[in-house]
Amino acid sequence: MKISTPKITKKVKDIKISKTFLHEVINSYLSNKRQGTAKVKDRGEVAGSGKKPWRQKGTGRARAGARQSPIWTGGGVTFGPTGNENYKKKINKKKKRLALVQAIAVRLKEENIKVVDSLELEENKTRLAAKAIDDILDGEKENKTLLFLKDYDAEIVRPFRNIKFLTIKTVSDINAYLVLMNKNLIFTKAAWESFIAERGIK
């Protein structure tokens, strides 16, 4: 298995990396993953009768109209989530492309992108797959790692899928969030060539 580190091209070397911009894009990806299903009960939805707890005057206590009041323990919640919140944030294609190029540039400058000519093993065993990944990463197993294939191949994926710190994706899935949330990136040669051709990172 031949392992190489892609060269930093002039385009990648000269690109200006904006942490503020990347932060904005990553926040958008995270917001778009939120389901918005959190919900609490307001005072109209809390179980209980409408009976006044005690008479209005003469008890020495504060006035109270219902046990479902938000100021009471077990009462309703004021201004809580209703389950209808929409957290979606639109990211246009130009921003997505730019963020991905910047994210790849970060990993290239760190030399945390590896390209392998083949992932074929003597046997489809997780033990051999783990050894291959360990050789590629030179022992840096404590960091989250992404393995990119050009196309999904069950025979290749099978021995690698049980490696705890490894996530397997195809090139079509790549985005800035995935790149920045994983310290190491491994591409098959076919996947890397496909990626740089499609994204214009030459």
**Which CATH number is 27's domain given?**
3.40.1370.10
Q: Which residues contact 1 (CB under 8 A, 6 or more apart)?
A: 116, 117, 118, 119, 132, 135, 136
Q: Which of 113, 37, 43 is nearest to 72 (CA)?
A: 43
Please state the φ and ψ torsions of residue 175, each to the nearest 5 degrees.
-155, 170
Give the type of residue at 87. Answer: Y
Question: What pLDDT shows up at residue 13?
Answer: 75
Using CA atoms, how far apart are residues 146 and 160, in angstroms rounded to an integer? 11
Domain that holds residue 78: 39-86
Q: What token pair was written down for 138? A: 């030179």
- Backbone φ and ψ of 68, nearest 5°: -85, 5
Same-domain pairing of 59 and 115:
no
- Residue 95 sits in the same domain as residue 152: yes
Say yes or no: 148 and 48 in one domain. Answer: no
Q: Give the mean pLDDT per block of 10 residues along the chain (202 residues).
A: 78 85 94 92 92 95 94 94 91 91 91 89 88 84 86 88 91 93 93 83 62
C-alpha torsion angle, residues 125, 129, 130, 136 (rounded to 10): 170
Compute the distance between CA of residue 133 and CA of residue 99 in angstroms, rounded to an integer.
27
Look-up: residue for tokens 């098959």?
Answer: 188
One domain for residues 108 and 155 = yes
By C-alpha distance, which of 92, 102, 137 is closest to 116?
Answer: 137
Residue at a domain's end among 86, 115, 148 = 86
Helix or strand holding residue 114 (H, E): strand 113-116
Q: Are residues 193 and 146 in the same domain?
A: yes
Q: Return the pLDDT at 201.
A: 64
Partners of 4 in beta bridges: 115
Do 95 and 175 belong to one domain? yes
What is the Cα–Cα distance from 128 to 185, expressed in whole angstroms? 19
Residues 100 and 11 in one domain: yes
Residue 2, token pair as written in the block: 């031949």
- pTM for this one? 0.79
Name the domain boundary from 86, 112, 146: 86
- H/E element holding 168? strand 166-170
Whether residue 162 sits in one domain with residue 69: no
In total, how many domains does the chain have? Answer: 2
Q: Is there a single domain that holds both residue 123 and residue 62?
A: no
Do both 158 and 68 map to the same domain?
Answer: no
Indicate if 108 and 168 belong to the same structural domain.
yes
